[in-house]
Structure 1
Amino acid sequence: MAAWLDEAVALLLGRGRLLLKAYPGAGKSTLFPLRLLKALPGKVLLFEPRRVAARAVAARLAENLGEPLGKTVGYRVRLEGREGPETRLLVLTEGLLLALLLEDPTLEGVSAVLLDEAHERHLEGDLALALLLKVQETLRPDLKLALLTATPDAELEALFAESLLAVEGKSHPLEVHHLEKPREGPLEPLAARYARKAFLEGEGDVLVFLPGKGEIERTRRLLQDLPAFPLHGGLPLAEQMALLRPGPRKIVLATDVAETSLTLPNVRAVVDTGLAKKPRFDPRTGLSRLVLSPIPEASARQRAGRAGRVGPGRVFRLYPKGPFPPKRPEILEVDLSREVLVALALGERLEDLPLPTKPPQGALEAAWNLLSLLGAVEGGRLTPLGQRMLRLPTHPRLARLVLEAEKEGLLPLAADLLALLEEQDPLEGEPDLLLRLEGLLEARREGRGPFWALERVAALWRRRLGAKPLETLPPPEAVGRLLLAAYPDRAAQRVAPGRYRLATGPLLRLEGDGPPHLVAVGADATRVLLAAPLAREDLLGRAQVAAWTGWEGGRLRGYLERRYGALVLERHPEDPGPPTPEHLREALKEGLPLPEEARQVLLRLRFLRAHGVPVPELREEALLQDLSWLLPWTEGVRRLEDLQNLPWKEILLSLLGEARATLERLAPEALTLPSGKRKRLRYREEAPPLLSLFLQEAFGLREAPRVLEGRVAVAVELLSPARRPVQVTQDLKGFWENHYPKVRQELMRRYPKHPWPENP
């Protein structure tokens, strides 16, 4: 083992970068950092993707040195830590590296940075890697950078292609069993059944992979007669460490933290539910939340491998054989607003950093829009407010809530709201956020209940914010005011019982009825899922005054409004004035098309242009795009009916100037029949003009009339007395001579009262 440790240290010192690919349990996170510490003068930072792993790895490193935790080896995770002035090896979660870089982009005094479990491709880990590569290239060429992983993907190998060290380890044979068909019913009874089977029928410890803390607790209750222990991030450090030491046989019920980050001794059987909770952007709350997801094949292999480290093992996969879902880096799945903010604070654009996977354009745009809405960025730059938001280890929305609470003197309330919004919801399905606050206060008073786990999170936030515990429920408007700062786009106004309009425009349903205004903290495409009341005065304080004119009930109306986004809070009538081109375009879009007589003017012009006559080209699309030509005719227009009654044909003809005479001469609107009667022509696309006549009206017309100075014969549509077409022809003479005699006999029989001369 010492050989590969020395080789890894030498490679890192020589090339400045290292991708260490080592099997689970090899010691890449518990031995390599200590060996590196001896070879370097400054501090070594080791970053773990999870809090439970950071605490456990730090404790194991300190134990390997024979020292108490907090001396040479310390740890720092979100909202807690243990370190001292002598600490040289500091284990941190990935997000805290970003905080360190914000404080000191050069990482002065740090000799090496190690990113453990880099293959998991957490967003914070990817961003940390990209920023460290940038720091190494521009500010600190002496900084050593290493990725520690059991299964690097192709993108990481490409970044570290010239400094890869693979440490091979032996593995024992595994029996892998799958379910024959997909699981039906709850997960926990099935997991408990197979855990019991593996424990009673085999040797060594049993490791059961479950998605989260709730599933672990429910499974543990089903195994009360066996030595079953939980392993997750909420455990005290002493309990975590006890599970990592050899001892009597046991069943360990773990989240995916045991997949790679922690090595458990003496595991001979694995029960794999095939599920994990992964961060995904949740449009309901505007935050990234943990959602239940099937694991990719690489994770399934990692879990199975835990059973084959010390001897032959068995794996029970609680899912059928079949294709696994593809592995996707978090950068493709989650909200990027905090990462955009961090990059900006360091003078970078997120998309320009050497990230293993480039961020999606849509997610980048959404992040910029949100940060602008929160006041964190302006003109592509970080604002002072944005800099203050970055100092808080949470999503920008919730950081903005804290800053608002600081201004309002409501930090105790902010701590509770952060716990409620960040953690798993004990009242899933209930939309009232105030009920959750009541539950949290009750848990605080009684020291138990479904909200007790959230109270521990709230206590950590109170310690961070220097706030006292909230003792009584605050006024609902105070809750709404803080939430409005974090969710300015989620303000909503009741428009009907159980129906609300969001400030961004969409309509949402709320079960039952609610207050006149609320903040829809949680929402999907159609429903309000989590909300708190909002005072109208708080919206008025943020409202903008604007004049509005538009069509309402068929009339052009004007108002002076106070609006918050799409929400009209106050409205006073105003004189709308004459319609603008936009009003006219809106009216035409709402079903007021150009009348047919106006369209005929355009078709007559097109007919002439098709035959080489140089006249202006007026296209309907262009005319409707810019309606300024119509304004001189709409001075007194206030109703849609007034628009319909405009002299459309005359208006269009007036646009032609001298070409109007050419149009009337070569493409006349109507023709005079032998009877003296005038009949309109109908001009058509890519066809000769059409003249529709009753047969009796055509008597005396020997040939089809012509336009364009005799160059084009019109098509004559001959109709029966019942207006049914008899013939359409440009050869009227041929019709009279060849077809009329037969037509005459048929029509005389049907319509005997009409004249049918032999020679028409």
Structure 2
Amino acid sequence: MAWLDEAVALLLQAGRLLLKAYPGAGKSTLFPLKLLEALPGRVLLFEPRRVAARAVAARLAENLGEPLGKTVGYRVRLEAKESPETRLLVMTEGLLTRLLLEDPTLEGVSAVLLDEAHERHLEGDLALALLLRVQETLRPDLKLALLTATPDPDLERTLAGATLAVEGESHPVEILHLERVPEGPLEALAARYARKAFLEGEGDVLVFLPGKGAIERTQKLLQDLPAFPLHGGLPLAEQAALLRPGPRKIVLATDVAETSLTLPGVRAVVDTGLAKKPRFDPRTGLTRLVLAQIPEDSARQRAGRAGRLGPGKVYRLYPQGPFPPKRPEILETDLSRAVLLALAFGERLEDLPLPTPPPKGALEAAHALLHLLGAVREGRLTPLGQAMLSLPTHPRLARMALAAEGLGLLPLAADLMALLEERDPLEGERDLLAKLEALLLARKERRGAFLRVERASALWRRRLGAKPLESLPHPEAVGRLLLFAYPDRAAMRVGPGQYRLATGPLLRLEGDGPPYLVAVGAEVSGGKGRILLHAPLAPEDLEERAEVVAYRGWEEGRLRGYLEKRFGALVLERLPIDPGPPTPEALREALKGGLPLPEEARQVLLRLAFLREHGVEVPELTEEALLQDLTWLLPWAQGVRRVEDLQELPWKEILLSRLGEARKALEALAPETLTLPSGRRKRLQYREGAPPLLSLLIQEAFGLKETPRVLGGKVPVVVELLSPARRPVQVTQDLRSFWEKRYPEVRRELMRRYPKHPWPERP
């Protein structure tokens, strides 16, 4: 294969290579060995999945004719097979960051290869960004290659290196879609078309199913045919057997067979169009696998498996139509561990050369959680955060495991971590203690429902140096341990089936529950929600972490003071104290509906607004501005103890006192009252966006020849003349014109209606 020599030469020359090759070309099983011949040090090959890492390592060792663990080895989460002779090490993506933490220079490593980079897992993107930093700052001699089956412009732009595309020969593939998906189990539909493809066609049949459970159920329906599973839980020897040519068979696989593994002899593909994808689950605060439709790239990859050896056929068990968009995992998942890892390298995640920038909201949520867990302080990694990185799991569970060591609860921690990380066999059960009890019973009776959980627990026990948990611990010990992982999920019962969460929202719990609990699983929306999974909590555990605060606030319209023992929004204990004078915060709470200004005080604000409208410089005294900072009100509110007391304050005097020297300008240019010819003073009514209004009985205006003016004579007021019955007769800004033109007619009408009142001809 000439492309192998070309790829090695390009990588050695440019230092960075994007290798695009069709599935089965040998980019994972031939290129690393060719590179090993050209370089003196070790070569690290990173795969996105454990099953692929084991299988690729086995195939590489087989190609060398050596046992696995000699020249070629593998290392996956909580498991490894390698030796001092190992020069080509196949690992999962997440282990690269741990390796870089231990040795940022990657001493002795000549090249790092990231396989299936187009899948855009968060760990793969983060690994690429960190490797680029290492290459730029510490190891310019380090060779870096991305191995991919499909193009990705973001990867190509980020890598900025040489590119080699290896085109393969493909045979025509007939693609058949279902017009509609029939009702019934997915497994029955998959088994039906797998049987059809096997009995009517040639070669092997590859069936893509979304998980191990679906594979096992489909296999039972195909017991009369040679059907074999392929998934991450399969022993390595069984995986390797499926990758070798042999008699015709049906392979029931997860998406690991989409690109990571190449199966020989496949001539037909049955595609359910589904896969398990990691998604951040806000209910548990963890990232878990969920069932999702595949994007078009994945569907094309799956179909391509049928056309490698000859004309093939693909049965897509879904109607033809638009595919969901392909979204990098960084846009969908929790970023707290990625943020923690970046900080460990002295970097901010958003500053790293990632192919896709992280979303701002997810970044803020990650920082808030890490601060809550004690992993980060003032944007820096704490010793606790550093210790949390040593465990390959979510920061919440890492924090719990570290706490378990000090509490002597490591066996319990291993089981809880397995229950929370793996698919739950008792998904409808709300009580975590019941799940734990079921796991212990299954362990004793060796039943299969909890087999996957038990396997994960055994790996954690090995890692933590813990023995199996033999009996159910005290219920509150479970809550005590979970509180380290979920301090924001502590909750207190505030009514029948109602709980207040430490972060504030109210949650509903079906059935009876303990006074205090940890809501490990919860759905929260709009300040309300429901508890999906919980464990009881002792109040003493909250009190140990609680802070004592003095609270002053309003209850039933009265200012009250308390000394409170609080855990977040949970008030664990309260003692009454003298509230003292109101604080600005207490005043803001009482005045959240606005300042209780009487009309004469509101007129002060309108007079000031009138002056500002006409270019006079006076203080920006508006109700909105006054409410922003209420410290100015403190001297006047010393004796306030009721909300009603605020209404009785001398608001006009208070506002005028804030004007200082501007008070003189206010009185001179926007007077509160005007003097009439009779000597009486009449109040002006200031209005928003209009001249002031002077409302008068028509007799009160006798002798007033001209329209009164304000603003130093610049603005005539609006005069509203009223009948003796106080009904409007005339509204004008030109009194002289009214007296001369309109008054004679008005006089005749008013004399007729009000004969007892004087109506002079020349008032």
TM-score by shorter chain over 0.5 = yes
Residue 22 of structure 1 aligns with which residue?
21
Question: Counterpart of 2:693 in 1: which secondary structure?
Answer: strand
1:715 is matched with: 718
Say if 1:183 and 1:342 are closer, same or farther in 2 by CA, change over 3 A: farther
Alignment partners' CA distance in 2, 1:58 and 1:402? 31
Which residue is 2:164 aligned to? 165
Aligned to 1:584: 587
Is residue 2:521 matched to residue 1:522? Answer: yes
Residue matched to 1:347: 346
Q: 1:606 matched to which residue of 2?
A: 609
Pick closer, same or farther for the CA change 1:735–1:388 going to 2, 3 Å: same
SS in 1 for 2:114: strand
CA distance in 1, matches of 2:209, 2:746: 87
Q: Aligned partner of 1:713: which letter? A: P
- Given that residues 744 and 756 in structure 1 are in contact (C-alpha distance below 8 angstroms), is that contact kept between their aligned partners in structure 2? no
Counterpart AA for 1:474: P
Report the AA paired with residue 632 of structure 2: W
Secondary structure at the aligned position of 1:480 is classed as helix
Question: Structure 1's 738 and 475: CA in aligned 2 closer, same or farther, altered over 3 A?
Answer: farther
Other-structure match for 1:380: 379
Single out whichever of 672-681 and 262-271 deviates more from structure 2.
672-681
The residue number in structure 2 matching 1:189 is 188
Q: For 1:559, which of 558, 562, 576 is the aligned residue?
A: 562
Alignment of 1:219-368 (within 5 A): 219-368=218-367
Deviation at 1:103, TM superposition (A): 1.4
Counterpart pick for 1:535 among 531, 535, 538 = 538
| Aligned twin of 2:695 | 692
Instruction: Tell me if the contact between 2:158 and 2:353 (Cα under 8 Å) persists in the aligned partners.
Output: no
CA distance in 1, matches of 2:345, 2:197: 52
Aligned partner of 2:684 in structure 1 is 681
Residues 17-49 of structure 1, C-alpha deviation per residue, up to 9 Å, x if partnerless?
222211111111112222222332322221111
Of 668-677 and 260-269, the range deviating more from structure 2 = 668-677
Aligned residue for 1:280, secondary structure, equals strand
TM-score (norm. length: structure 1): 0.94
Aligned-residue offset at 1:421: 0.6
Contact 1:337 1:367 (C-alpha < 8 Å) held by counterparts: yes
Q: Is the 8 A contact 1:183 1:319 kept in 2?
A: no
8 A Cα contact 2:16 2:160, kept in partner: no
Deviations 1:303-336 (A, max 9, x none): 0000001110111112222222222211122112
How many residues in Structure 1 have an aligned counterpart in Structure 2? 758
Question: C-alpha distance in 2, partners of 1:614/1:266?
Answer: 88
Stretch deviating more after TM superposition (636-645 or 176-185): 176-185
**Mapped partners of 2:453, 2:22: distance in 1:** 36
| Residue in 1 that maps onto 2:445 | 446
Q: After superposition, what is the alpha-carbon deviation per residue over 1:641-680, rounded to whole angstroms, capped at 9, x for unaligned?
A: 1111011111222333455455334433234556776543
Q: Please, which moves more after superposition, 308-317 or 286-295?
A: 286-295
Give a deviation string over 1:91-136, Cα, whole Å, max 9, x none.
1111111121111112222222211111111111111122222222
| Conservation of the 8 A alpha-carbon contact between 1:206 and 1:270 | yes
Cα distance, 1:683 vs structure 2: 0.3
Q: Match for 2:66: what amino acid?
A: E
Partner of 1:624: 627
Cα distance change on mapping 1:672 and 1:230 into 2, 3 Å: same
Match of 1:468 in 2: 467
The CA deviation at 1:420 is 0.6
Asked whether the 8 Å contact 2:596–2:646 carries over to 1, the reply is: no
1:664 paired to 2:667: yes
Give the whole-Å Cα distance in 2 for the aligned partners of 1:651 and 1:510.
Answer: 51
TM-superposed deviation, 1:12:
2.3
One of 571, 575, 578 as aligned partner of 1:572: 575
**Take 1:186 and 1:611, find their aligned partners in 2: how far apart are those partners?**
76
Residue 589 of structure 1 aligns to a residue in which SS? coil
Question: Matched residue of 2:582: which SS?
Answer: coil
Structure 1, 178-187 or 275-284: larger mean CA deviation: 178-187
**Does 2:477 correspond to 1:494?**
no
The CA distance in 1 between the partners of 2:438 and 2:634, in whole Å, is: 63
Structure 2 residue identity aligned to 1:318: L
Note the 1:646-661 alignment, pairs <5 A: 646-661=649-664
Separation in 1, partners of 2:5, 2:259: 23
The more displaced of 272-281 and 306-315 is 272-281
Matched residue SS, 1:527:
strand
Q: Provide the rounded CA distance (Å) in 2 between the counterparts of 1:505 and 1:358.
A: 31
Please state whether the residue corresponding to 2:429 is helix, strand or coil.
coil
Higher mean Cα deviation, 496-505 or 472-481?
496-505
> What letter matches 2:507 in structure 1?
L
Q: In the alignment, is residue 638 of structure 1 matched against residue 641 of structure 2? A: yes
For 2:592 and 2:652, the matched residues in 1 are separated by: 20
Shift of 1:613: 5.4
Deviations 1:166-189 (Å, cap 9, x if unpaired)?
221100001111222466554223
In structure 2, the partner of 1:63 is 62
The answer to whether the Cα contact below 8 Å between 1:206 and 1:269 also exists between their aligned partners in 2 is yes
Q: CA, structure 1 residues 357+615, in 2 after alignment: closer, same or farther (shift >3 Å)?
A: closer
**Take 2:567 and 2:427, find their aligned partners in 1: how far apart are those partners?**
30
CA distance in 1, matches of 2:541, 2:429: 25
* In 2, Cα distance between equivalents of 1:342 and 1:323: 37
What does residue 389 of structure 2 align with? 390
- For residues 255 and 687 of structure 2, what CA distance do their matches in structure 1 show? 71
How far apart are residue 13 of structure 1 and its match? 2.7
Indicate the larger mover: 597-606 or 739-748: 739-748
Q: How does 1:192-203 map to 2 (within 5 A)?
A: 192-203=191-202
Read off the aligned partner of 2:382 and give its amino acid letter.
T
**Amino acid in the other structure paired with 1:532:** A
507-516 or 158-167, which deviates more: 158-167
Q: Is the 8 A contact 2:121 2:328 kept in 1?
A: yes
TM-score (norm 2): 0.93
How far the C-alpha of 1:489 sits from its partner, in A, is 1.2
Q: Distance in 2 between matches of 1:741 and 1:75?
A: 110
Distance 1:593 1:369, change over 3 A: same
Measure, in 2, the Cα distance between the counterparts of 1:471 and 1:300.
Answer: 46
